[in-house]
């Protein structure tokens, strides 16, 4: 019997600010409890309800730059004046153990991960419409007017990168969108290139 390769898979999720990535991703983890979240480092301020070591590792600029110098990041970027970066340890350890890793990254991070790990599956979450997105951004009340304007500008820039993703899903209802993502992950595991074809003629006895 052909066995699935035991190496874990990288799943990169991106989406515009305010698209509801967090809720969608939460639903994905409920359906796939063995999936591991790659906790990024950031220098941005902690938002209400966030926890250090759960949502992000919240670092000072000095701490972040120290990690850059020591080569601890597989990728990092500076957006909205804050650093964001993925630690090598957050992805290499689980991958070796055969555990799938979900990364929530901006378009720059997704592009960098895909060039380093071509097997990574990249998924872009789009809003049902730009008006719904604007309403969500204003409605969540966590960003200043200036920050909302900056995020809307960023959306324009980021939309040019959508064509580079493997999949695009729409977040109309978070649970439905999450089901689509779970379906993609399960299908990707069935791809022939991810199977261990050497075992085809191996007897099971």
Which residues of this chain interact with ligand 5GP, rule CB under 6 A? 17, 40, 44, 75, 77, 79, 84-86, 104-106, 108-109
CB of residue 74 to ligand 5GP, shortest distance in Å: 9
Q: Count CB neighbours of 42 within 10 A.
A: 20
CB of residue 88 to ligand 5GP, shortest distance in Å: 12
CB of residue 111 to ligand 5GP, shortest distance in Å: 9
Q: Measured from the CB atom, is 37 or 196 closer to ligand 5GP?
A: 37
Q: Measured from the CB atom, is 144 or 203 closer to ligand 5GP?
A: 144
Q: Measured from the CB atom, is 3 or 65 closer to ligand 5GP?
A: 65
Torsion of CA 28, 182, 138, 16, to 10 degrees: 120
Long-range (24+ apart) CB contacts under 8 A made by 68-73 are 73/41
CB of residue 2 to ligand 5GP, shortest distance in Å: 35
Name 138's Cβ contacts closer than 8 Å, sequence gap at least 6.
Answer: 148
| Among 125, 96, 152, 144, residue whose Cα is nearest residue 13 | 125
Q: How far apart are CA 66 and CA 61, in angstroms?
A: 8
CB of residue 151 to ligand 5GP, shortest distance in Å: 8
**Cα 6 from chain centroid (whole Å):** 21
Q: How far apart are CA 126 and CA 170, in angstroms?
A: 5
Residue nearest to ligand 5GP (CB): 109
| Among 104, 99, 97, residue whose Cα is nearest residue 39 | 104
Q: Measured from the CB atom, is 104 or 180 closer to ligand 5GP?
A: 104
Q: Measured from the CB atom, is 138 or 197 closer to ligand 5GP?
A: 138
Q: Measured from the CB atom, is 36 or 106 closer to ligand 5GP?
A: 106
CB of residue 79 to ligand 5GP, shortest distance in Å: 6
Alpha helices in 4-144 (DSSP H): 21-31, 61-69, 88-96, 107-116, 130-139
């Amino acid at each position: 019997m052909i066995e699935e390769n035991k190496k874990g898979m990288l799943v990169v999720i991106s989406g515009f600010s305010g698209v509801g990535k967090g809720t969608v991703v939460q639903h994905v983890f409920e359906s796939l409890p063995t999936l591991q979240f790659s906790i990024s480092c950031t220098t941005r301020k902690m938002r209400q309800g966030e926890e250090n070591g759960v949502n992000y590792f919240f670092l000072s600029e000095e701490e972040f730059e120290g990690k850059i110098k020591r080569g601890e990041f597989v990728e990092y970027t500076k957006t909205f004046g804050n650093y964001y970066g993925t630690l090598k340890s957050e992805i290499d350890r689980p991958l070796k153990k055969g555990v799938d890793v979900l990364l929530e990254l901006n378009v720059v991070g997704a592009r960098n991960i895909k060039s380093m790990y071509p097997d990574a599956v990249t998924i872009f979450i789009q809003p049902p419409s730009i008006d719904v997105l604007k309403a969500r951004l204003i409605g969540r009340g966590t960003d200043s007017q200036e920050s909302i304007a900056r995020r809307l500008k960023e959306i324009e820039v980021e939309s040019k990168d959508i064509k580079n993703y493997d999949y695009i899903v729409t977040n109309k209802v978070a649970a439905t969108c999450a089901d689509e993502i779970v379906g993609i992950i399960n299908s990707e595991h069935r791809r022939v290139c991810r199977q261990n074809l050497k075992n085809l003629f191996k007897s099971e006895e």
